[in-house]
Amino acid sequence: MTEENDEAVYRVVRNDEEQYSIWRADRELPLGWHAEGTEGSRQVCLDHIGRVWTDMRPLSLRRRMEQVS
């Protein structure tokens, strides 16, 4: 199956470090990941992540860097 033929529904997921990924909506989420609320085609989910995940640094690193500043 190619991406063009992928009719699966995906969901955007986020972990406690505020890192994003996509996961098939019909599958149980892996430990440590939580549904963010967006569902749709693979491309819809990837486009959403592209808009909202503007700082790729893990949350713990961002916090440490703020303490140093």
Contacts of 50 (CB under 8 A, 6+ apart): none
Q: pLDDT tens across 46-60, in order?
A: 999 999 999 888 888
Whole-prediction pTM: 0.81
Q: What is the DSSP letter of 18?
A: -
Bridge partner list, 39: 11
Both tokens of 36, joined, read 């963010």
Closest CA to 11 of 29, 19, 3: 29
DSSP state of 1: -
Give the model confidence (pLDDT) of 4-50 as tens digits: 678 899 999 999 999 999 999 999 999 999 999 999 999 999 999 99
Query: What is the pLDDT, as a whole number, of residue 8?
Result: 96
Between 13 and 62, where is the model more confident?
A: 13
Asked whether 48 and 38 are in contact (CB, 8 A), the reply is yes
